[in-house]
Every structure is written in structure tokens, then in C-alpha cells.
């Protein structure tokens, strides 16, 4: 009788590093809980957005910040162009 390695003894017919589910979970699939949460948010998204905008209009600073962060993209730095002196000599 030949000696079996530990991996062969625990899982006969499987090679070390071989997956038990080679196809695995399909790419892009989502968890059921995530799907339920997205569906719930989709139903009330318009009402929530309208409420936040109303609060921002009435002076709620955190609601206004939320609205502005979503509507206006963050400002990116603009390039600055400078005219520099000649650097081929020590006086430059």
C-alpha cells in the first residue's frame, strides 16, 4: 500500500491548489442582501433626494454640502506656467 500525502488523505481525487468550485461565482454577480438593499433604495431614492434638497434650501448646511458634493465635481488643480530665466550659466 502506498503512502498518501496529507492533502490526498483528506480529499481523495483532489490535487493541492485545485478549487472545489472551478467556475466559482459569476463575475459581476451581487449578493442577495445587496440586491434587496438596492431595490429598497431605488423605490425611495427620488423622495430621499427631494427631502435632502428641501433641507438644503431651508438652511441645513450638511444637506447643502451633500447636494453640492454630488452635483459639482471636485475642483482640480490648474497648471501654472512660469517664465524662468536661462539656466545654462551661473547668473541664470
DSSP characters over 60-90: -HHHHHHHHHHHSPPPPPPP----PPP-SST
In a domain, 29, yes or no: no
Average pLDDT, the chain: 81
Of the CA atoms within 13 Å of residue 44, those in its CB half-sphere come to: 7
Q: Is residue 66 part of a domain?
A: yes
Please tell me whether the overall predicted TM-score, pTM, comes out greater than 0.75 for this model: no
How many domains would you assign to the chain?
Answer: 1
Residue 21 resides in a domain: no
pLDDT band at 9 (very low <50, low <70, confident <90, very high): low
**Which residues make Cβ contacts (< 8 Å) with residue 67, sequence separation at least 6?**
52, 53, 56
pLDDT single digits (tens) 38-58: 888 888 888 888 998 999 999
Domain that includes residue 53, residue range: 45-73
Residue 30, pLDDT score? 86
**Does any domain span residue 32?**
no
Q: Quick check: is 23 in a domain? A: no
Q: Does residue 60 belong to any structural domain of this protein?
A: yes
Amino acid at each position: 500500500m502506498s503512502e498518501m500525502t496529507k492533502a490526498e488523505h483528506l480529499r481523495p481525487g483532489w490535487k493541492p491548489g485545485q478549487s472545489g468550485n472551478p467556475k466559482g461565482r459569476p463575475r459581476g454577480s451581487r449578493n442577495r442582501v445587496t440586491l434587496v438593499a438596492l431595490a429598497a433604495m431605488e423605490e425611495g431614492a427620488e423622495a430621499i433626494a427631494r427631502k435632502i434638497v428641501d433641507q438644503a434650501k431651508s438652511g441645513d448646511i450638511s444637506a447643502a454640502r451633500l447636494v453640492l458634493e454630488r452635483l459639482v465635481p471636485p475642483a482640480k488643480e490648474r497648471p501654472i506656467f512660469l517664465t524662468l530665466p536661462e539656466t545654462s550659466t551661473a547668473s541664470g
